[in-house]
Every structure is written in C-alpha cells, then in structure tokens.
Amino acid sequence: MRPDSLIGLLLNSISLSDRKTNTAFLESASTKLREGLVTPPAVVKTLRELIYWQYAKIISNSAGMGKKQWGFVMDRFEKLRDESIFWNSIREYVKEREASDKCSFCGSADQLSLEHLFPRTLHGPDDEKNVTWICRRCNSSKGARRPYEYWTLRDGLKAAKYDMPRLVEGKYLKFVFETLSGTDYMDLSMTEIEKQVCPTCDLTPLCKKEQSVHKLSPLCIDGITTLQLSKA
C-alpha cells in the first residue's frame, strides 16, 4: 500500500474533532514511510531479527517487489523468524557461480580478484563463505571496511539499508548468522546492545554521524560481528 493511501485510511478512522491533532503526526509518519526512515519496525527487537529483516528485503526485491513493499517484506520476515522458510532455500553460492565473471559490487568485469567481505585485518576468516569477486576499483574503494560500514561511508546509512548489491548482502548476512549462531549476541535487545557493545564499538562515531545511536541498524551487524571475531 502506498503511503498516501495509508494516511487516507488512518485519517478516515479518527473522528473529525481529533483530525487537527492527528493530521500533523500522520503526515510526518507518511513522510518517514516514503523515505524509509521508520524501518526496522518495532517488531524487530534483536540482532537475529534485524538479520532476518534485512534478508526479507532481499527476498522481496528478488521477487520483483522492491525492498519497500512492507506487507510482503513483513511476511517474509515472519517466515524466516518462524523457520517456515530457511536460508538454504536461497543459495548465494549458486548466484555467485552464475556471475563469477562480474564484480559483486558494481557488475564490472575488469580486473577481478577475490576479496574478503569481512576484512582479514579484523579477524575475518579466509574461507569461501567470506569472499566474493570484486573489481580492482571497488576493491580499492572498500579497503579494510566491513560491508555495511563501507556502504554507509559511501552513500549513507539509508543506502546501506536498501541499496547494497543482492549477492554481497545476502552472502554477508549468512556469514554473520553462522558466525554469531550459538552466541549471546544474537538475541540481545537494543538496550542490552547499548550496555554491552556500544561503549567499545569502533563504529559508534559513524552511528553518531548517521543519527542512529540507540537504534538497531545494519551497523550493529558489523560491530557485533567484529566483537565476536576478535574473541576467536
């Protein structure tokens, strides 16, 4: 449903006397919906659920519905969370093999090499689950940055939420999920993340710049994965 249609329904549901009070709030909410600033929604409370939410948007986009078709995204999110659908039903390695002659970041076929998604300098493993094909230009630009960190620095946090290439983000989310499975990090709430992670997280300055402090965002995925790998 389009934001304009949603706000119309909401206004029709409240009394005439209350409309003046509520119209400004609803118009503000509609603007945020258009800009994608209200996601992840309140139902996404833990890192595990944030990973599912990001992957649900990938599924929606792959189905040709884009990443902001909220009803469909929520349906996929709930199915991932409830294990009605599984990671293995969508195989990044098959897609990667089909596009092995192209950069996973920009699609170029120029001077390709294997690059670690999660940097080796931050204890990223040297195995196939943590590498992808990347052109020389993108490799130089990414450097030793983590995926969401890199995309945020390049184009802003909103772009990191919605514009990261499908193969890169999908493979990275599965790598993170496997890395963090069985740890206490997966089910930390934002309040617990603030206490246990934020004080020592090297991405806090970037969160402040993007006005995402005290909010679950893809940068939390990068930061918490960094802490876990540093213990390995």
Selected residue with higher pLDDT from 63 and 95: 63
Burial class (CB in 10 A: 0-12, 13-18, 19+), 124: buried
Q: Round the CA-based radius of gyration of the chain to a whole number and report it.
A: 19
| pLDDT tier, 24 (very low <50, low <70, confident <90, very high otherwise) | low
> What is the model's pLDDT at position 95?
61
Residue-wise pLDDT for 69-100, tens only, equals 989 999 999 999 999 988 765 565 556 665 57
Query: pLDDT per residue over 93-140, tens digit each?
Result: 556 665 578 999 999 998 999 999 999 999 999 998 999 999 999 999
7 compared with 167, residue with greater pLDDT: 167
Peptide bond into 40 cis (omega under 30): yes
pLDDT at 4 exceeding the cut of 80: no
Is residue 40 very low, low, confident or very high in pLDDT (cuts 50, 70, 90)?
confident
Q: Where are the beta strands (DSSP E) in 31-130?
A: 112-116
Q: What confidence tier does 2 reach under pLDDT thresholds 50, 70, 90? A: very low
Tell me the per-residue pLDDT of 211-222, one tens digit each, with 9 for 90 and over.
999 899 999 999
Band the pLDDT of 8: cuts 50, 70, 90.
very low
Q: How far apart are CA 118 and CA 135, in angstroms?
A: 16
Measured distance CA(67)–CA(52) in Å, rounded = 13
Angle of helix 147-155 relative to helix 218-231, nearest 10 degrees, comes to 140
